[in-house]
Chain A
């Protein structure tokens, strides 16, 4: 089984995890810019992180035949800091031409402050200005419903925004309908505790169908699983779903969404993914 993990924070993971991804059939990962678990002190620190995402991680992934792509952004957890956010946003365009940068992400809100909404709005405008795909983080736990609603309200202001070029990630049962009803892609991120389990993700596919839904591990520095996507596939097989449905969710859907960037080189028809860089 081939699969793509559209949300993996590989800077936090070991090389062994790349090996696990490759051994379980992963052909490509996309890595959104995120919070390091502590606040960065300045824009230079974030810029170094962007260099890590665009220079070092693709090489590390390539050692195992996994393609590595990235998204750049001021992450939601630090986006309340308006001065840092403005500094970072000025630097992002310098990286958008790099061969593995697919778009702006993960952007969105954390605690849903007015500052976070201002930064989110500026990042949506940055993506539109540079014709980039958008990957949106929705807040955790009790903040998810409100954050998803407000994110969609902000996006709805832009008549030139094409919803099919936006994925709203970390969706759960109480947000998936509003995401898809507005024409966006929905991402299900499989977590041991704080988001959605492989079992509930399989329930979502059964209840709502597989259109415009992708699943990802979203592995990072916290409790998480770099091979959560194959665990989802295993859960689907446990329920005797056929391989075409599983492949649709774990491979074809992410290819369809990500191929809207001309830089994404995995194709539906290719027996082997093309090399990049």
Chain B
């Protein structure tokens, strides 16, 4: 029989109690990362496509369906394979300025 999705048997307040501090830590880590970039080279954030996507992702935190929206922002939306291997590894975000064709 197909199992149904099920939320944990926690109240909303219990979820906040349980997870607030560790996510407060993550929030401060992101703030510290952005301050670090600014401190060392404030223009890097504007030049680097990854940092531009990062800023869009932070803005997406204010809406709903945050995780899926951020995954979409970071993903390669194109549909055509590469003609040849360009590098060995992914780098974390897609450079939308370098491609045009996407899946509808």
Contacts and interface: CB of A to CB of B under 8 A. Distances in A.
B39 interface: no
Interface string A114-141: 1111000000000000000000000111
Majority secondary structure of chain A interface residues (helix, strand, loop or mixed):
helix
A146 B79 CA distance: 7
A241 B89 CA distance: 37
Interface stretch (A5-13, A63-71, A100-108, A206-214): A206-214
Interface in B42-88: 67-68, 71-72, 74-79, 81-88
A157 interface: no
Interface string A184-226: 0000000000000000101000111111000000000000000
A54 interface: no
Chain B binding surface SS class: loop
Contacts, number: 95
B21 interface: no
Given A146-B75, A245-B6, 19 more contacts: A112-B82, A113-B81, A113-B83, A114-B82, A140-B90, A141-B92, A142-B74, A142-B75, A142-B93, A144-B75, A145-B72, A146-B78, A149-B79, A174-B68, A174-B71, A174-B75, A200-B67, A239-B18, A240-B10
Contact of A142 (B67, B85, B92, B103): B92
A145 B72 CA distance: 8
B90 A141 contact: yes
